[in-house]
Structure 1
Amino acid sequence: MVYLHEMDEKFGHVSSNIDREKGSELHESYQQADPFPHIVIENFLPPNVLEVCLKDFPASSEEAEQKFDRRQERLKESFNPDILPPSTRQIFYSFNSRPFIRVIENITGIKGLIPDPYFAGAGLHRIHQGGHLSVHADFNHHKPMNLERRVNILIYLNKDWQPEYGGQLELWDQDMTRCAHSIVPSFNRCVIFNTTQESMHGNPQLINHPQGIPRRSIALYYYTSTWDETKRDATTQFRVRPGTNDRVDWRTKVNEMALELAPPLVMRNFRRLKKHLAGTH
């Protein structure tokens, strides 16, 4: 049975008559999950909704808002919903609607969740053959809205995906001593989890589909108005798995040390110089 059967198959709207307590039945399992609060839900949406997303998924990489190709995130692209056809845009707008958000609040127990109209880093994601995303903790501050990131939702679009194709979502403990879960990114499987500096996750296994088909997913992020000056702004924090060839993200570490040690005026001038130099190339 489809979990969110209250979502319209044609337009992706979640009925305003949906049970206000829907999701509460999953809250205890979510909170008690190891190694951090999360849940895996099979058959999350009406399949036709995801078929629309697959039909509208950009074939070309030219439309990608972000492209990553370095040691920690190889051959990864993200597409902002605003560049997609109306049929998929309205599905993403439904993910930002009150009926949908209330379900997520009931599951997570986090009230006052705020959607992101900018879809910063969210939208449709694709990782090509040979690509991967190393284990990491996500950025925690939505600067334009000055909000604290709290919840991630991943919905997979990969039909008949087998473990040997790679791309499993791995959930690690905070100390990076063990992988608690390895989740195959199968079609209509949804993973919801708390986003903190302790929620280590990623898909470090290389994509290895026999027909060269990329790994595709929907990524949604939600926030709360709990950010204040006592919290430390952090970008994506990559971690190294023991006994692997994972590489330390020295670029981020050096930037963070510079931010902590350099006077604010120096850093402001440094950013202006970087922006100027980027605009001259």
Structure 2
Amino acid sequence: MKRAVLSDLIYHKIDSQKKRVVKQFSDSSDAIGYFFIDELLPLEMVSKIHAVFPKPEEMVLKKSIRQDKYVAAQMNLYNPILEEIIYAFQDNKIVELIGEICQIKEPIADEYLYAGGLSMMGHKQFLNPHLDNSHDKDRDRWRVLNLLYYVTPDWNEEYGGNLELWPDGLKKDQITVHSKFNRLVVMVTHNKSLHSVSPILHNGFRCCISNYYFSKKPVFAEDEFRVTSFRGRPENKFTDAILKMDTFLRMNLRKIFKKGIKENPHVYKK
């Protein structure tokens, strides 16, 4: 399970479906461009990746009105297989191929896994609708692509924990992308790429491997700096009002403290 072997398998799988995913991304690119690849890796490999996923108590719990999930980025604390698969997605040939599919010039992988790495969600956990923050940890590069690789066997769509895209805002129906076992989802991130993860309705854990790609330029020229900007789900009006105020306050704080009051701990400190 070396990253060179993994990256070759990933590259050839994506390349073999290039024509289909180019169309899938192009058809959705006027709003929130995305594509997905199923059966990304051989079954025995992805099953082994899932088998060594850390337990909840070995991860960081992020629980608030915004979200409720477990995350991990300090990869040397976990089974080496997990670091190998995460960095396999950062192989130059894969970064360039995905950039070509998504019409992103010169995408750059993030070795520090800022807001990336591992995530896991169990019963009743959720991630409210939000826009990802616009930059990397040093505020030098624009966040442009989000890669999500789902590795929980037999995860049915009705279990929840699915990616939701809101291309027309919260007043219109969302697009639901099933967090299916062995599925890679790639979505573009910009000032209008509102997305969420539906609440988990199952007594189990949905496990995900995440990477972000950055660029020297934003997806759209009109994109502006933003903090991670949360909203409430359409049925939660009160939560929505609180979260909009929360974003307003944090945005104004960042006008004073350009890189925040304290360093975001969600990075891989090598």
Give TM-score, length-normalised by structure 1: 0.78
Aligned partners of 1:73 and 1:16: how far apart in 2?
A: 30
Bigger CA radius of gyration: 1
Give, as a single letter, the amino acid of the residue that structure 2 aligns with 1:179.
Answer: D
Corresponding residue to 1:53 among 49, 58, 69: 49
Corresponding residue number in structure 2 for 1:31: 26
Distance 1:41 1:201, change over 3 A: same
Q: Structure 1: where are the runs of 5+ without partners?
A: 1-6, 276-281
Aligned partners of 1:43 and 1:246: how far apart in 2?
A: 40
Tell me how far 1:46 sits from its aligned partner.
2.5
Distance 1:84 1:37, change over 3 A: same
Q: Structure 2: where are the runs of 5+ without partners?
A: 265-270
Corresponding residue number in structure 1 for 2:138: 144
Corresponding residue number in structure 2 for 1:183: 177
Write out the 4+ residue segments of structure 1 that deviate beyond 6 Å after TM superposition.
7-10
- Superposed, which structure 2 residues align to 1:26-105 within 5 Å? 26-33=21-28, 35-62=31-58, 64=59, 66-74=60-68, 76-80=69-73, 81-105=75-99
Tell me how far 1:11 sits from its aligned partner.
4.4
* Two-structure CA RMSD over aligned residues (Å): 3.2
Tell me how far 1:252 sits from its aligned partner.
2.9
Which structure has the higher relative contact order (CA within 8 Å, separation 6+)?
Answer: 2
Corresponding residue number in structure 1 for 2:210: 219
Contact 1:138 1:237 in 2 (8 A): yes
Deviation by residue 1:101-130 (Cα, 9 ceiling, x = unmatched)? 122123212121100000111111101211
Contact 2:191 2:223 in 1 (8 A): no
Tell me how far 1:95 sits from its aligned partner.
1.2
Aligned partners of 1:192 and 1:17: how far apart in 2?
A: 14
Corresponding residue to 1:235 among 227, 230, 243: 227
Deviation by residue 1:39-61 (Cα, 9 ceiling, x = unmatched)? 12221223333223212211242
Aligned partners of 1:259 and 1:84: how far apart in 2?
A: 33
Aligned partners of 2:40 and 2:10: how far apart in 1?
A: 18
Distance 1:136 1:16, change over 3 A: closer
Distance 1:82 1:196, change over 3 A: farther
Corresponding residue to 1:134 among 125, 128, 131: 128
Aligned partners of 2:215 and 2:164: how far apart in 1?
A: 25
Aligned partners of 1:20 and 1:162: how far apart in 2?
A: 23
Distance 1:82 1:29, change over 3 A: same
